[in-house]
C-alpha cells in the first residue's frame, strides 16, 4: 500500500497548465491602453508561474511561493472587481468585458472560491449580446468541469463523500469539458489544454475506481469493478483518440505527452 504522500502525488491532477494558460489568457497589443486589466492579467500569470515553480522548489520556498501566488490571485480579483464596478461600460466598449470576466473566474477558481467562480461564469455566459473572445468563451465553459474535478479530488482526499457522488462529479466534469472542446477553434492550443484536463479527470476516476475504499466513504450495494472499468473505458477511449490526434499537431513534445499519459492511464492497452 502506498503511503499517503505518494497517493496524493499520484492522483493530484489539479488541471492547471500554466504555460498554456499564459498564452490562452493573453490579449493583443492593440488594447494595451487598458492598463488595469493588463495588470490583473499580469498578476494572474505571475501567480500561475509561481504555482508551477512550486513543483521544482524545496518545501520552504514552496510555502512562500504558494502564499505569494494567493496574494497575486487576490489582487487580480480585486482589480477586476473594481473595474467591473467602475469601468464596465469602457470595458464593453473596448470588447474586453468578457476577458475581464474570464480572468476573474479563473483567479477565483485557483483561490478555491468555487461558488464565486461559478457565479462569475454564469454571469458572463448568461449576458445576451456580451462579446466574448472565442478562447475566453471556451475557458469559461471549461471552468465548470475544472471546478467539479477539483471538488471531486478534495472529497477523495477527505474521504467524506460516497463513491457514487464523487464519480458523478468526475463524469459531469468530463461532460463540461467535452462541451468546451466542441466549441474550441481548430488549431487552437486551448484544445490541448482541455484534452489534458480531461485526461487528468480520467486519472482521478481511475484511482477512485481502483481503490474505492481509500477515496470514498461508502460504496453502492451493486458496486462491480468490471462494470466500473467498462464505464471508464467508454469515456476514456474517445478522449484518448482526440488526444492522440492533437499531439500529432504539437511540433515538439507531442510524443513525450503521449508516452507520459499513456503510462499514467494505461492507455490504450487497458481498454483493448
CA distance 68 to 260: 30
Over the stretch 86-98, which tens digit does the pLDDT of each residue have? 999 999 998 999 9
The model's pTM: 0.84
Closest CA to 105 of 86, 122, 130: 122
Over the stretch 249-271, which tens digit does the pLDDT of each residue have? 988 888 999 999 999 999 999 99
CA distance 116 to 152: 18
Residue that wins the pLDDT comparison between 51 and 24:
51
| CB burial of residue 92 (10 Å; 0-12, 13-18, 19+) | middle
Least confident of 29-43, 52-66, 72-86, 191-205: 52-66
- The count of other CB atoms within 10 Å of the CB of residue 101 is 23
Which residues does 236 contact at the CB level (< 8 Å), separation at least 6?
202, 265, 267, 271
In this predicted structure, what is the pLDDT of residue 186?
86
In this predicted structure, what is the pLDDT of residue 12?
45
Residue that wins the pLDDT comparison between 126 and 56:
126
| CB burial of residue 65 (10 Å; 0-12, 13-18, 19+) | buried
SS3 113: coil
Q: How confident is the model at residue 34 (pLDDT cuts 50, 70, 90)?
A: confident
Helix axis angle for 163-183 and 225-247, nearest 10°, is: 20
Amino acid at each position: 500500500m502506498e503511503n499517503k504522500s505518494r497517493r496524493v502525488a499520484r492522483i493530484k491532477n489539479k488541471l492547471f497548465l500554466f504555460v498554456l494558460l499564459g498564452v490562452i489568457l493573453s490579449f493583443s497589443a492593440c488594447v494595451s491602453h487598458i492598463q488595469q486589466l493588463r495588470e490583473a492579467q499580469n498578476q494572474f500569470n505571475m501567480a500561475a508561474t509561481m504555482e508551477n515553480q512550486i513543483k521544482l522548489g524545496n518545501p520552504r520556498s514552496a510555502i512562500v511561493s504558494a502564499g505569494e501566488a494567493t496574494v497575486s490571485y487576490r489582487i487580480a480579483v480585486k482589480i477586476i472587481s473594481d473595474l467591473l464596478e467602475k469601468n464596465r461600460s469602457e470595458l464593453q466598449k473596448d470588447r474586453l468585458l468578457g476577458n475581464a470576466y474570464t480572468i476573474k473566474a479563473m483567479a477565483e477558481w485557483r483561490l478555491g472560491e468555487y461558488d464565486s467562480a461559478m457565479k462569475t461564469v454564469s454571469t458572463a455566459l448568461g449576458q445576451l449580446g456580451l462579446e466574448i473572445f472565442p478562447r475566453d468563451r471556451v475557458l469559461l465553459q471549461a471552468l465548470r468541469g475544472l471546478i467539479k474535478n477539483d471538488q471531486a479530488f478534495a472529497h477523495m482526499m477527505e474521504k467524506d463523500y460516497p463513491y457514487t457522488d464523487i464519480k458523478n462529479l468526475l463524469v459531469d466534469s468530463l461532460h463540461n469539458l467535452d462541451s468546451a472542446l466542441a466549441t474550441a477553434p481548430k488549431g487552437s492550443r486551448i484544445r490541448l489544454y482541455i484534452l489534458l484536463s480531461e485526461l487528468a479527470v480520467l486519472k482521478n476516476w481511475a484511482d477512485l475506481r481502483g481503490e474505492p475504499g481509500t477515496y470514498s466513504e461508502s460504496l453502492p450495494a451493486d458496486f462491480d469493478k468490471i462494470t466500473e472499468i467498462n464505464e471508464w473505458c467508454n469515456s476514456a477511449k474517445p478522449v484518448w483518440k482526440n488526444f492522440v490526434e492533437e499531439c500529432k499537431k504539437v511540433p515538439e513534445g507531442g510524443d513525450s505527452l503521449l508516452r507520459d499519459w499513456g503510462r499514467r492511464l494505461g492507455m490504450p492497452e487497458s481498454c483493448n
